[in-house]
Structure formats: structure tokens, C-alpha cells
């Protein structure tokens, strides 16, 4: 099992005060097939970004069709932020802030992932793809990558180099906003790194599933403080800045890859598109093409943002980090209940299709039921 890197002590954790102000952050993890409850490798991404509006889109036109998370403002769908293609190749990323940059800013991460999803079917393909990318790359990121051939690894990529970290069989890896191969004690996200480390280690020998990561994506646990802030007997205001669920969190996605012997196009994603504490995940299958469920559309994203705004305590700059704890608890109660239904129904259908083949009619039925649940969710949580 993966061992927490110990060279980053408490003094390094305090660097978060300087570096965690960056909104483009993210928390990710990769779980090997052997450590997954479904026997499929997993990638989790908690996306932190300035752009709050994100949707899932199915893309054709390259060597491989794929489904991925995009910012709504990216009408050309040029920059993907987490996705899987019909060959079973999947990728997500965190920005890394401890590589020297030869350019003004690392702006090509989303472009790289969109092109990789369209062109790559394996980790070997991705290796060649990285080597062929023009240097300086305009890249400073940790890329989480899995394929249908048992490959699972992080690629820590800078403008001029990259280092690969393979996920051990039966184990897992995770990253925030520094690279292990970058400058020591620099970068950001150290509190989140240690928090997800503790949370995953605490699971022991119990295997991981999508629900674990989706719950972590909306938890209010800080390893320096201990415990879940929402479980304290406290109904006042809460500063969420160093939790995994932050004011700049805009989506939480878990990709389930392909197990050995499965159809490479059977990969799927669990997608919560919006501020994770105010939205829940639904199932999306890459083989379904454009048949996406309503709760990953722009309307669902808007509902999530409306709920996010409703729990903010102050309108001034910086005040958005303070949450009305009582209101957050009310919304989370509904989110968890609706997500439980999606995980149940989506998992049953996914298991059936893995055994008997993809069934578009059944997916459409699932999508219709998901829409009905979403309409009920809106009525329950949106206060007139």
C-alpha cells in the first residue's frame, strides 16, 4: 500500500498559507484495479478553478471519441479537464507549482488532455505523445492516467521534462499542487495532500469505490485541525479555505476505467458538476455518446451555483469563504440522499452491461429517471 511521503513536515504545510490562494488547484487520486471494489482502476479529480461553470460533453472527430469535463465558456471544447475515451484511456490533472517555468504561465494543460483523449489508447501512447509535444510545453502539472491494459500512473510534467510514477498493484497514489520530482517544499496544496493521505490510509484493506471519493470531495476535514468541521456541535460560520471542498471547487469526477478482458469502450464516469457540497454525481458512459443525463448539463450546474451562493455569509471579496454551517448541513443531507440513489441505480446498470454488453435503451431509461430525481431535488433544496 502507498506510504505517505514524510519529507514534508508541519513547516512545509504552513506554506499553504502562501500558495493555496491559487484557485487553479485540484486534488486527484489514482486507485489500481486490485484496490478497487469494481475491479476497475479509478481516477478521482476534485476540480478547483476560477470558472465555476462546467459541463460534460461527448467529443467526436479524433482517432477516438471521448467524454470529458469542459468549462462552459470553452465553446470550441479545446480544453478538457477530466475524461475517458472509447479505447479505455482516461486522464485528469492537477496544476503543479514547484517546477520552473520557461513561459509566463502553464496554459496548455487542458489542451494537452483534450488532444491526448482524442489520440491515445495506452500509457505507451501517452509517453510518445508527451515526447512529441513542442518544448517548452507550457505545462506544469501532475497527470493521472489509466488505460485498458492495466496501466495506471502519474506523469509529473514540466516545460522540458517529465517523470512517471506507476501505481503499485493493489495500491494507490494521490497528488495536489506540487510534484514529488519538483522543487522540495515548494508548490501548494500541502494541507489537502496530507488530508487525502490520511483519509485513504484510514480505509486500510477495504477497497475503494466512487462513493468514497465523492464523499471526500464534499467533506470538511482538515488534517491540521482534526475531525469533520460539519460534525462539530456548531451552527455558526466556517472558513472552508483549506478543506478539499473549497470555495473554488467546481466539480468532482470519478472515472471508472476498464478491467482486463472488458470491452475498452465500457468505461464510465461519476460526475458531480458544480460546487461538490451542493450537487451530486450521476453515471455517464462513454459508449452512450451524446446521451448524457440532465444533472451534468448547464442547468444542473446553475442550480448548484445558486445553492452555493445561498450558503455564503458575506458578499465582499474574501467573504465567500465563510459558510453558514446550518444551511450547508441542510443541503448536504439532500445531496447525499440523491447521490445514494444514483450510485445504486447506476452501479446496477453498469454491472449488467459489463456482463451482457452496452444497452443504449437502458442508459436512456437511467437518464430519464435521473432527470426525474433532479427535478425532485430542485424542489426540495431551492428555497423560493
What residues does each domain of the chain span? Answer: 11-203+211-381
Report the pLDDT value the prediction gives residue 6, as an integer from 0 to 100.
31
The pLDDT tens digits along the chain (384 residues) read 333 333 333 333 333 333 334 457 899 999 999 999 999 999 999 999 988 999 999 999 999 999 999 999 999 999 999 999 999 999 999 999 999 877 666 578 999 999 999 999 999 999 999 999 999 998 999 999 999 999 999 999 999 999 999 999 999 999 999 999 999 999 999 999 999 999 999 999 999 999 999 999 998 888 877 777 777 666 777 777 678 998 889 999 999 999 988 999 999 999 999 999 999 999 999 999 999 999 998 888 999 999 999 998 777 766 777 888 889 999 999 999 999 999 999 999 999 999 999 999 999 999 999 999 999 999 999 866
Q: Which three cell numbers stand for residue 75?
A: 465553446
* Largest Cα span, the chain: 55
Instruction: Tell whether omega for the bond before 8 is within 30 degrees of 0, i.e. cis.
Output: no
How many whole angstroms separate alpha carbon 106 and alpha carbon 311? 33
- Yes or no: say if 289 and 362 are a contact pair by the CB < 8 Å rule: no
How many whole angstroms separate alpha carbon 312 and alpha carbon 384? 17
The DSSP secondary-structure symbol of 251 reads E
- Yes or no: say if 350 and 268 are a contact pair by the CB < 8 Å rule: yes
Q: Which spans in the chain are helix H?
A: 10-13, 16-19, 109-119, 123-132, 190-202, 210-216, 298-310, 325-356, 360-381
Q: Which three cell numbers stand for residue 26?
A: 485540484
| φ and ψ of 211, to 5 deg | -60, -35
Lookup result for grid cell 454491472 = 351
CA distances from 359 to 41, 146, 235, 259, 351 (A): 22, 24, 47, 19, 12
pTM (two decimals): 0.91
How many whole angstroms separate alpha carbon 29 and alpha carbon 31? 7
Which residue, among 170, 172, 223, 224, has the nearest Cα to 198 in the 3D structure?
223
DSSP string, 4-17: ---SS-HHHHTTHH
How many whole angstroms separate alpha carbon 334 and alpha carbon 313? 21
Lookup result for grid cell 505517505 = 4
How many whole angstroms separate alpha carbon 159 and alpha carbon 321? 33
- Yes or no: say if 260 and 169 are a contact pair by the CB < 8 Å rule: no
Pairing of strands 282-285, 268-273: antiparallel
Report the pLDDT value the prediction gives residue 107, as an integer from 0 to 100.
72
Report the pLDDT value the prediction gives residue 226, as an integer from 0 to 100.
75
- Yes or no: say if 98 and 104 are a contact pair by the CB < 8 Å rule: no
Polymer length of the chain: 384
The DSSP secondary-structure symbol of 207 reads P
Second-level CATH architecture of 11-203+211-381: 4-Layer Sandwich (3.60)
Give first-to-last CA distance, the chain, whole Å.
Answer: 49
DSSP string, 54-122: EEEEEE-SSSS-EEEEEETT-TT----SEEEETTS-EEEEEE-SSS--SSSS---HHHHHHHHHHH-SS
The DSSP secondary-structure symbol of 185 reads T
DSSP string, 152-164: EEEEEE-SS-EEE
Amino acid at each position: 500500500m502507498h506510504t505517505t511521503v514524510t519529507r514534508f513536515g508541519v513547516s512545509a504545510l504552513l506554506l499553504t498559507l502562501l500558495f493555496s490562494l491559487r484557485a487553479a488547484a485540484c486534488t486527484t487520486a489514482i486507485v489500481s484495479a486490485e484496490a478497487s471494489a469494481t475491479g476497475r482502476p479509478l481516477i478521482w479529480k476534485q476540480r478547483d478553478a476560477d470558472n465555476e461553470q462546467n459541463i460534460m460533453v461527448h467529443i467526436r472527430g479524433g482517432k477516438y471519441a471521448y467524454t470529458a469535463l469542459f468549462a462552459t465558456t470553452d465553446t470550441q471544447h479545446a480544453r478538457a479537464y477530466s475524461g475517458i475515451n472509447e479505447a479505455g484511456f482516461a486522464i485528469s490533472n492537477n496544476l503543479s507549482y514547484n517546477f520552473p517555468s520557461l513561459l509566463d504561465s502553464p496554459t496548455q494543460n487542458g489542451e494537452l488532455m483534450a488532444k491526448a483523449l482524442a489520440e491515445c489508447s495506452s500509457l505507451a501512447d501517452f509517453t510518445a505523445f508527451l515526447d512529441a509535444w513542442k518544448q517548452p510545453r507550457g505545462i506544469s502539472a501532475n497527470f493521472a492516467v489509466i488505460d485498458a491494459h492495466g496501466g495506471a500512473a502519474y506523469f509529473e510534467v514540466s516545460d522540458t521534462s517529465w517523470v512517471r510514477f506507476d501505481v503499485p498493484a493493489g495500491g494507490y497514489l494521490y497528488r495536489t499542487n506540487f510534484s514529488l520530482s519538483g522543487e522540495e517544499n515548494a508548490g501548494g496544496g500541502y494541507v489537502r495532500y496530507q488530508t487525502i493521505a490520511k483519509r485513504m490510509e484510514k480505509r486500510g484493506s477495504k477497497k475503494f469505490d466512487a462513493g468514497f471519493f465523492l464523499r471526500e470531495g464534499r467533506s470538511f476535514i482538515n488534517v491540521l485541525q482534526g475531525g469533520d468541521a460539519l460534525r462539530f456541535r456548531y451552527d455558526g460560520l466556517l472558513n472552508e479555505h483549506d478543506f478539499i471542498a473549497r470555495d473554488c471547487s467546481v466539480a468532482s469526477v470519478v472515472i471508472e476505467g476498464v478491467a482486463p478482458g472488458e470491452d475498452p469502450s465500457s468505461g464510465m464516469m461519476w460526475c458531480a458538476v458544480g460546487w461538490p457540497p451542493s450537487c451530486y454525481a450521476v453515471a455517464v458512459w462513454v459508449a452512450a455518446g451524446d446521451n448524457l443525463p440532465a444533472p451534468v448539463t448547464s442547468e444542473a450546474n446553475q442550480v448548484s451555483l445558486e445553492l452555493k451562493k445561498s450558503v455564503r455569509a458575506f458578499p465582499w471579496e474574501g467573504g465567500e469563504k465563510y459558510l453558514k454551517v446550518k444551511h450547508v448541513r441542510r443541503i448536504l443531507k439532500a445531496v447525499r440522499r440523491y447521490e445514494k440513489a444514483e450510485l445504486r441505480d447506476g452501479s446496477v446498470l453498469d454491472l449488467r452491461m459489463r456482463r451482457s454488453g452496452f444497452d443504449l435503451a437502458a442508459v436512456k431509461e437511467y437518464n430519464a429517471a435521473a432527470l426525474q430525481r433532479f427535478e425532485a431535488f430542485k424542489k426540495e433544496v431551492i428555497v423560493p
